Amino acid sequence: MVFNFDDLTPEMILVEGEINELEEKRSMKQYGLEGLYDTGFMYQDKRQAQGEQKMKLPTKKTTSTIDVAKLRVTMHGPPKIGKTTTLSKIDDMLIIATEGGHDHISGFIQPVDSWTGFLEVAKAISKKDHEFKTIAIDTIDNLVQFCREHVLTANKATHESDLPFGKGWSLVDGEFKRVFSKLTNMGLGVWFISHTIEKEVENYLGKKYTKKIPSLPNKQRNFILGLSDVILFADIAQNEDGKYERILRCQNSNDFEAGDRTGKLPATLPLDYGAFADCFETEETGGQSRLQQARQLVGSDDITPAIAFTHIDELRQAAQQMFDDGAVSESFSGFDTIEINTDADAVDALLHAQELFDTMEKGLQNERG
């Protein structure tokens, strides 16, 4: 039988071959999921009603808007570094816990120990009779294992290679992508929490090097990272005072997997959700984040402690040409002892100094009438 796109609904396109509703129910029975047929997470949604209007293409450009609560974020790092504690600071978040270690935090915790259990939670989330704006899966590594066990058990196999022609890997990959394609399109933010492994990778020039990446199988890792707006690597770094602190690395490197599609994050942040969320503040800035304001002020994409100190000194010198040295020294005295250890600190100090200078300049203009 030959199809053309006019004959296909979006749901039909998602399924290979000619699978009708009866065959879907048989598939559900095979996986032991008959009771969950009415949820959008269980194989096929029902066919669109006949006579429904065809899709209309957009006629206007969309505008760039970022709601921090709706971001899709992957955060990976070594055990016990504080990933789960960071999640607990996010308001209106449901944490789907696939491993232990959540007894020490305060939050909305939903334990899950199987793939069907996760699908039940996903079904409840999809009904939207709750106040959650963001969900987190802690960890996504364990959930991949739950998916593997479920699919392999349903097919009476113990390993993907037990099924011929690569079918085992294809079934696991297909089931995982099917569910998360739906879950990430419900208008909620999703955080994927993963452990970190070191892996030898090869770049396009054939050079090999070791990189810290999320500890997921290749197919699932590439899929999750492709869904993510932001990839954060939780790490420990030594600051200028020789002290070690926990940080988030936000920009990719040969040494670790990270990235930021929004363009609003500095190279590093404290391992703190508040510092992360502050990067998306746009109050009275024409839609600019604090990082974007700082970048515009200094003409650089990177805002480091050294750049911040340089800009502060330049503002101090400009103020000394306009005002009495005593007044300038008093106004800028706070910057003589300020600690700027991270890029996020640099953004805050730079903008604070600029606001101070602008206030002094405005006062002078008012005096001159």
- The tens digit of pLDDT for each residue in 213-267 reads 999 999 999 999 999 999 999 999 887 777 888 999 999 988 999 999 988 888 8
Reported confidence tier of residue 10, pLDDT bands at 50, 70, 90: very low
- CATH code of 165's domain: 3.40.50
271-293 pLDDT tens trace: 989 889 888 876 444 556 777 77
Residue-level pLDDT at 9: 42
What is the helix, strand, coil percentage profile of the chain, to 5? Answer: 45, 15, 40
Q: What domain range is 359 assigned to?
A: 290-367
Distances (CA, A) of 33 to 24, 42, 184, 194: 11, 8, 21, 27
Q: How many CB atoms lie within 10 A of CB 272?
A: 17
Q: Is 43 helix (H, G, I), strand (E, B) or coil?
A: coil
Per-residue pLDDT tens digits for 119-142: 999 999 998 889 999 999 999 999
pLDDT at 338 over 70: yes
Tell me which of 186 and 21 has the higher pLDDT.
186
Is the same domain home to 8 and 115?
Answer: no
Q: Are 40 and 162 contained in the same domain?
A: no
User: Could you tell me how far CA 118 lies from the centroid of its own chain?
Assistant: 20
CA distances from 186 to 64, 132, 177, 330, 332 (A): 19, 12, 15, 53, 49
Does one domain contain both 226 and 88?
Answer: yes
For the cut 60, the answer to whether the pLDDT of residue 27 exceeds it is: no
For residues 217 and 330, state if they share a domain.
Answer: no
- Is 240 or 318 the better-scoring residue by pLDDT? 318
Q: Is residue 167 located within the same domain as residue 315?
A: no
Would you say residue 285 lies in a domain?
no
Say if residue 105 is in the same domain as residue 184: yes
Distance CA 335, CA 316 (A): 10
In a domain, 53, yes or no: no
What distance lies between CA 204 and its chain's CA centroid? Answer: 26
CB 255 within 8 A of CB 311: no
User: Alpha carbon 45 to chain centroid distance?
Assistant: 28
Q: Tell which of 271, 302, 335 closes a domain.
A: 271
Residue 123 sits in the same domain as residue 182: yes
Does residue 54 lie within any of the structural domains?
no
254 and 345 both lie in a single domain:
no
Q: Which of 92, 49, 60 is nearest to 188 (CA)?
A: 92
Domain count, the chain: 3
Q: Residue 350: its pLDDT value, please?
A: 86
What pLDDT score was predicted for residue 43?
47
pLDDT value of position 26: 60
In a domain, 56, yes or no: no
Residues 3 and 120 in one domain: no
What was the pLDDT predicted at 128? 82
Q: Are 165 and 241 in contact (CB under 8 A)?
A: no
pLDDT-derived band at 318, boundaries 50, 70, 90: confident
- Give the model confidence (pLDDT) of 347-360 as tens digits: 888 888 888 888 88
Whether residues 217 and 83 fall in one domain: yes
- Please indicate, yes or no, whether residues 31 and 77 belong to a single structural domain of this protein: no
Residue 283 lies in a domain: no
Task: Determine, yes or no, domain membership for 284.
Answer: no
Residue at 207 is within a domain = yes
pLDDT digits (tens, 9 = 90+) for 92-118: 999 999 988 788 888 899 999 999 999
**Residue 327 located in a structural domain:** yes
Average pLDDT over residues 300-326: 82
Where among 271, 306, 331 does a domain terminate?
271
Same-domain status, 164 and 39 = no
What pTM, to 2 d.p., does this model score?
0.69
* Residue 111 · residue 86 · CB < 8 Å: no
pLDDT in tens, 37-96: 445 555 444 444 455 567 788 888 877 778 899 999 999 999 999 999 898 889 899 999
